[in-house]
């Protein structure tokens, strides 16, 4: 199984490259994050590779960093996410941001990636959150603090809904902050809204 390729860059495309290794050209699919790091044609390039074997094909997926390859391998372990979708996700967000989004349960950040819907984002968080947090801890990457707070996008949505219902912005913010500070676990948007309305009504 091929894990690393080093050779001259014979072809450079947005979706794939051809790496010439001692006269043999290997086609390697890449995400945009790797494309931006590629040297000019004819220069030596080193890519960390995941070899994907199917009944009718062997495909190589290459990454500029080990972190990208590890994230790719994590994602294709999630039910319903294949190599093509995983590459699309890596092309739509920086690896560090993806780690923070998954570890922080940030649905808004994930669904902002082209091709990622709410269900897929929820699966990524559900199946990868623990793995990502362990990975970040091992690499000394600060983990997004999700305890006692919701994502900024959810907060904004709830605040906007309260203002639209006729509550003053300042009062809505105070009640919303009370709910989030007292929460002992992550709350869904509808739960936050109900609890905030209860405070405002009292």
Q: Where are the domains of the chain?
A: 4-63, 66-138, 152-201
Distance separating the N- and C-terminal Cα atoms of the chain = 64
Which residues fall within 8 angstroms of residue 190, CB to CB, at 6 or more apart? none
CATH architecture for the domain at 66-138:
Orthogonal Bundle (1.10)
Predicted TM-score (pTM) above 0.85: no
- The fold of 4-63 is OB fold (Dihydrolipoamide Acetyltransferase, E2P) (2.40.50)
Q: What is the pLDDT along the chain (202 residues), one digit of tens a residue?
A: 889 999 999 999 999 999 999 999 999 999 999 999 999 999 999 999 999 998 888 999 999 999 999 999 999 999 889 999 999 999 999 998 899 899 888 888 899 998 899 999 999 999 999 898 888 888 777 665 544 344 667 788 888 999 999 999 999 989 988 888 887 666 778 888 999 999 998 7
Q: Say yes or no: domain 152-201 is CATH 1.10.8.
A: yes
């Amino acid at each position: 199984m091929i894990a690393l390729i080093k050779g001259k860059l014979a072809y450079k495309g947005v979706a794939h490259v051809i790496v010439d290794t001692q006269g043999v050209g290997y086609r390697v699919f890449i995400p945009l994050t790797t494309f931006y790091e590629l040297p000019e044609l004819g220069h030596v390039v080193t890519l960390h590779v995941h070899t994907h074997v199917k009944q009718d094909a062997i495909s190589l997926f290459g990454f500029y960093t080990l972190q990208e390859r590890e994230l790719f391998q994590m994602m294709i372990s999630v039910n319903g996410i294949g190599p093509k979708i995983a590459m699309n996700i890596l092309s739509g967000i920086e690896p560090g941001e993806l780690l923070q989004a998954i570890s922080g349960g940030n649905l808004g950040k994930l669904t902002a990636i082209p091709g990622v819907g709410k269900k897929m984002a929820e699966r990524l968080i559900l199946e990868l959150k623990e793995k990502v947090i362990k990975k970040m801890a091992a690499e000394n990457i600060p983990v997004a603090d999700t305890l006692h707070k919701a994502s900024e996008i959810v907060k904004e949505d709830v605040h906007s809904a309260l203002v639209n219902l006729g509550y003053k912005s300042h009062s809505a913010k105070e009640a919303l902050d009370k709910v989030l500070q007292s929460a002992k676990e992550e709350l869904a948007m509808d739960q936050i809204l109900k609890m905030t309305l209860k405070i405002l009504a009292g």
